[in-house]
Structure 1
């Protein structure tokens, strides 16, 4: 019998139209958008379904939008294949997606999770506005080559490794001049550079000013031990209690995302059937690079 794991996407997977078909077909999904709009103070469904892209792509909007749209996709799966949802044994989420995974696992309520995600997006946007910064993917390079790019680009400014996504896909994050220099060095090394459309240097010390606001938000909500194991981005280990969850989520803002290691933890625990629940197919693509033999299905209306 398959051991099922759910994967929830992070910022960057958003696109205009996400969730529109699901919300029209499944009342439980539509209700999530309606409840979210009351909490957020604006019509989230309208932005997700119709844009404009300039607003949807902002950190303040994209984070709650992806959180809600992923949980809406989960409601579609629950209606169509309840045995899959009931049979899910473990979960993980990429950056923002870790919050979605924790809500699915019962560690936080939908409402509390959304309030924290909203505060997280606001705090990260403020930190990004205070430090002109960027992120760039280093594709087709090995870890040693990426380390050299980072070291050499540091002559132009502060820069760190922010995401270890899969073999041949590592994300660097830091000051804009350093990221621009890194992009040049990646190409010179025979790789491919892709500048990400994000507000700033996420998962680096440049986000430190966001931690206080996030800690305050996490202290105002009730957190329970997850009913199923959720893997942490920070150390690729299982979350194991409310205080540890708070600590890890705060650290996640300034520390690199160990996504490849998270997936390998799930595989080592016997998970052999994966579902990417939410907009896009990024996590399925990463899975192919981590272990192409593993089946990963997408759950969305793309």
Structure 2
């Protein structure tokens, strides 16, 4: 039994998806549609850069979705592999939008428009340079939660991503993160500041939540038999109404990726297919269960080697 998973921000590289773009008219037409819908040359930013442009959240989010959605459709339509047989669809943060669109809940054009707005809202939620993120390695969620509780009068920081065993990401204002780093050092806990422009998945994203609530409330989701796993609950999404609520709360909520993978494993999923640039999620899944089967789809040969 397999699940399809889609990566989030941080997986982008200039030139991603180029092999598929060069070989398949289906991909060329999706890239063209993206440019027309957004009114910018997103395809040029993806294929040629510069990296600084691609790394802007406002561009990164629709770009990763475009590449992931393109690869998904090449697998389905050019190679006739029925990915709708997946037990679950899931994605990490913005990857949740790739999952819901690929699963048939929202059209390509509506999804990419939403992600452009989401990227801009998240990028501008906090003044530039005021907030950031820190990755913590080799510690447990319980341990980090205890540290945050013990130091809550000294600084405020929140767990943004519970990614895998031994990889947790925290968000907050830089002034607070610097205090957090000092405490982590005292406890001999390995950590590193991430090269991001904003503190995602925490209360500081409140302005982005307001903007996205306004946008998501206008969206009419379609019916689909495919089952989504939510970042917020780490569990199945039961209805289109619940999907709306969870997408709104997702912006300030912890991405419960480790628990999502464990829940899928507990429900007899033994094969994960990562669709999109990079192989970040495959690495995280392997840290949770080193025996599980994983396919990472980045090129045509990866699809030829895919057995479901």
Alignment of 1:146-157 (within 5 A): 146-151=144-149, 154=152, 157=155
Distance 1:80 1:185 in 2: 52
- Residue 9 of structure 1 pairs with residue 7 of structure 2: yes
| Residues 5 and 89, structure 1, Cα contact 8 Å, conserved in 2 | yes
Residue deviations 1:98-153, cap 9 Å, x none? 01100011111111111111111111111032781001110011234322443466
Q: For the Cα contact (< 8 Å) 1:153–1:159, is it kept in 2?
A: no
1:253 corresponds to: 251
Contact conserved, 1:225 with 1:240, CA < 8 A, in 2? no
**Could you tell me which residue of structure 2 aligns to residue 48 of structure 1?**
46
Q: What is the DSSP-based 3-state SS (H/G/I as helix, E as strand, rest coil) of the residue aligned with 1:28?
A: helix
Contact 1:16 1:47 (C-alpha < 8 Å) held by counterparts? yes
Specify the alignment match of 2:277 in structure 1: 279
Q: Does the Cα contact within 8 Å between 2:141 and 2:162 map onto a contact in 1?
A: no
Distance 2:148 2:70 in 1: 38
Partner of 1:23: 21
Residue 156 of structure 1 and its aligned partner are, at CA, apart by 5.4
Alpha carbons 2:84, 2:226 under 8 Å: kept = no
Alignment: residue pair count: 300
The answer as to whether partners of 1:26 and 1:75 remain within 8 angstroms in 2 is no
The TM-score with structure 1 as length reference comes to 0.93
Residue 223 of structure 1 is matched in structure 2 by 221
User: Equivalents in 2 of 1:226, 1:233: separation in Å?
Assistant: 19
* Structure 2 unaligned blocks of 5 or more: 303-308
Separation (CA, whole Å) in 2 of partners of 1:269 and 1:206: 34
5 Å-filtered alignment, 1:1-302, equals 3-79=1-77, 81-129=79-127, 132-151=130-149, 154=152, 157-301=155-299
Gaps of 5+ in 1: none
The farther-off stretch of 98-107 and 180-189 is: 180-189
- Give the Cα separation in 1 of the matches to 2:30 and 2:175: 41
